[in-house]
């Protein structure tokens, strides 16, 4: 009988669940909303996963009672050891599989990006995070709880700072910057002051500030010193995370991988990307830098296959199937109702 597994990548905005077998074949795939316990609580996270697991069985044409060898769940919000332990206990209690594996979603991104046993990933999306692993099983991670743990950067932070610098540049408290004109134009208003007033009174939703991250990179690409300084600070933060994680694992002196993930890094903005690559090579000439080009749920699937002790041929087959059918891994499948 073939061995089946469930792979879960649960983020702040979406959750992907894949059902596969020991050969690397993808039997079912579904996508739903957030399952981060920081957003929906622990019971809510388990409920979301339960809906999606029922849906992925239906997508694969398998009954819910079909034996599953392992469920590998990599979730945003699994930051502290106690959070990982609570999630693992709650998921194991659902008896979705004979074996339950739970950890932070960054480890799924790391495995999706490389098969090298010594590796670090820095994720820069809405926020930022970093994890590393060594061939001997040691890991490195940060608390990644936002400003209270010293975090800086990611699309939301960059957007907030772009608006702040645009306002200060316009009213004279800061250096003149093309961000002022670009921010006002983005929202179709005459000045940044008008943008700020519209945000204050709710005429513009505060969430729209997040739209300014791409605007920042566009302005920086023109050579604007203020915008460029923010991009340089982001590059320095990414490199600091890499340096510390790789240093803790004693990786800097030998071959290892650095996987760059998250929307900001996957966009490959030249001004940011080139600084990060050059900075990483300056820290270690042995590093192999890559940008994640596979969905993180692929990493969760590969980690499930690793845990089951399955062959390298299964990894090659899984990667080939994912590469050949990206539309299948991008469609939205609604969870089946309770």
Tell me, what's the pLDDT at 331?
Answer: 45
Domain boundaries, the chain: 4-114+294-329
Considering the entire predicted model, what is its pTM?
A: 0.90
Which CATH fold topology does 4-114+294-329 show?
Nucleotidyltransferase; domain 5 (3.30.420)
Cα 326 to Cα 6, 15, 67, 229, 294: the distances in Å are 19, 16, 27, 36, 9
- Residue 335 near residue 30, CB atoms below 8 Å: yes
- Residue 52 near residue 79, CB atoms below 8 Å: no
Task: Give the distance, in angstroms, between the CA of residue 41 and the centroid of all CA atoms in the same chain.
Answer: 19
Question: For the residues 103-129, what does the mean pLDDT come to?
Answer: 95
Question: For the residues 303-311, what does the mean pLDDT come to?
Answer: 89
Average pLDDT over the chain, rounded to whole? 94
Interior angle at CA 18, CA 42 and CA 261, nearest 5: 80
Question: For the residues 204-213, what does the mean pLDDT come to?
Answer: 98
Checking if the pLDDT of 70 tops 70, the result is yes
pLDDT band at 338 (very low <50, low <70, confident <90, very high): very low
């Amino acid at each position: 009988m073939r061995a089946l597994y469930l792979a879960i990548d649960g983020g702040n905005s979406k959750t992907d669940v894949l059902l596969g077998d020991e050969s690397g074949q993808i039997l079912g795939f579904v996508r739903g909303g957030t399952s981060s316990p920081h957003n929906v609580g622990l019971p809510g996270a388990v409920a979301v996963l339960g809906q999606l697991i029922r849906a992925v069985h239906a997508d694969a044409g398998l009954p819910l009672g079909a034996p599953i060898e392992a469920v590998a769940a990599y979730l945003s919000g699994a930051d502290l050891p106690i959070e990982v332990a609570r999630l693992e206990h709650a998921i194991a209690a659902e008896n979705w599989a004979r074996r339950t594996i739970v950890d932070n979603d960054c480890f799924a991104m790391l495995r999706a990006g490389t098969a090298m046993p010594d590796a670090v990933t820095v994720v820069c999306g809405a926020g930022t995070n970093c994890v590393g692993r060594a061939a001997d099983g040691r890991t490195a991670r940060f608390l990644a709880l936002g400003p209270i743990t010293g975090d800086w950067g990611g699309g939301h932070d960059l957007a907030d700072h772009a608006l702040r610098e645009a306002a200060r540049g316009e009213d004279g408290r800061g250096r003149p910057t093309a961000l002022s004109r670009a921010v006002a134009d983005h929202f179709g208003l005459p000045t940044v002051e008008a943008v700020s007033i519209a945000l204050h009174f709710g005429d513009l939703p505060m969430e729209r500030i997040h739209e300014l991250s791409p605007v920042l990179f566009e302005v920086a690409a023109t050579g604007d010193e203020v915008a460029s300084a923010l991009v340089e600070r982001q590059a320095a933060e990414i490199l600091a995370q890499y340096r510390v994680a790789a240093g803790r694992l004693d990786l800097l002196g030998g071959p290892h991988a650095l996987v760059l993930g998250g929307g900001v890094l996957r966009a490959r903005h030249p001004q940011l990307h080139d600084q990060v690559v050059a900075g990483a090579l300056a820290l270690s000439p042995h590093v192999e830098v890559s940008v994640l080009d596979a969905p993180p749920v692929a990493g969760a699937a590969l980690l499930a296959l690793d845990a089951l002790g399955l062959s390298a041929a299964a990894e090659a087959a899984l990667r080939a199937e994912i590469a050949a059918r990206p539309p299948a891994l991008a469609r939205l499948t609604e969870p089946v109702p309770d």
